Amino acid sequence: MARRTLITLLALKALALTLAWFGHWAAAAVVFFGPDLWILYNLLVPSAQGLCRNFTRFETDRSEIWLTIDDGPDPDDTPRILELLDRHQARATFFLIGRRAQRHPALVTEIVRRGHEVGHHTHTHPAGSFWCASPARLGRELDEATQVLTPLGPPLRWFRPPVGIKHFLLPHALAVRGLQCVTWTIRSGDCLSRSPETVQANVLRQLHPGAILLMHGGPSV
């Protein structure tokens, strides 16, 4: 997929140069820069499907949502979240950061013991640089977290890129590791220093069956 996209991109650049050579400047500019904008859109917009297929909702005929909690584990937040979920008999997927899981492995096993799922959220959560990481660094972000998380629970299935920003090579990198990309339907806004009431109102306004809800636990990254 990435190779095909790259070949198409280079072919369009060559076409743009040809158009410019014959004096069709406006068409050349559109053909030259248009694909770049398309790539940027697909890298930066979490719900975009052009470069990397990702789940933004799920099919259900029941009144249920997929609750996902990112950026843990955290010694303060995770136990409190687990108690809250138990109280409401709710289950969630915790998208964990490998480096944090390395520091708090007991919290990971507790998440699994209580019937929740663990997802992969990179090893260091490089939110600002994930999209332009070298292929080697992309591999390290995936493999190092996998090495930490795999012995602590069932095999990993889901991957969520930091702040939903993807990488050009992500589809292949996930496929060879047996991971699938999940973003979200509803961003709760809980990491924007909003009051709990504002977050609650924001979520309730958008809630519907099959929605994937993004929330966070632990200090912001």
User: Is the sign of the CA dihedral 197, 202, 208, 210 positive or negative?
Assistant: negative
CB of 8 to Zn ion, least distance (A): 31
Amino acid identity of residue 108, one-letter, is V
47 and 182 Cβ atoms separated by less than 8 Å: no
Residue 73 beta carbon to Zn ion: minimum distance, rounded to whole angstroms: 13
CB of 33 to Zn ion, least distance (A): 31
149 in Cβ contact with 101 (< 8 Å): yes
Residue number with CB closer to Zn ion (28 or 133): 133
Per DSSP (E only), the strands in 57-160 are 66-70, 93-96, 117-120, 158-159
CB count in 10 Å sphere of residue 178: 11
Two tokens, residue 174:
């996930």
Helix (H) / strand (E) element for 174: namely: helix 170-175
Task: State the catalytic residue, choosing from 121, 123, 167, 216.
Answer: 216
Least Å distance, CB 71 to Zn ion, is: 4
**Binder among 70, 74, 117, 190 for Zn ion (CB under 5 A):** 70
Q: Which amino acid is at 133?
A: A
Binder of Zn ion out of 51, 71, 101, 173 (CB under 5 A): 71
Number of residues in the chain: 221
**Rounded CA separation 176/183 (Å):** 19
CB of 121 to Zn ion, least distance (A): 6
Which residue number, 31 or 146, has a Cβ lying nearer to Zn ion? 146
* Annotated catalytic residue, options 61, 70, 76, 123: 70
**What is the amino acid identity at position 131?**
W
31 or 81: CB nearest Zn ion: 81
Q: Is 138 exposed, middle or buried (0-12, 13-18, 19+ CB in 10 A)?
A: buried
74 is catalytic: no
Q: Does the annotation count 216 as an active-site position?
A: yes
- Asked whether position 117 contacts Zn ion by CB under 5 A, the answer is no
Q: Which stretch binds Zn ion (CB under 5 A): 66-74, 140-148, 151-159, 179-187?
A: 66-74
* 153 versus 162: smaller Cβ distance to Zn ion: 162
Q: Which residues of this protein are in contact with Zn ion, per CB under 5 A?
A: 70-71
Task: Cite the active site residues.
Answer: 70, 216
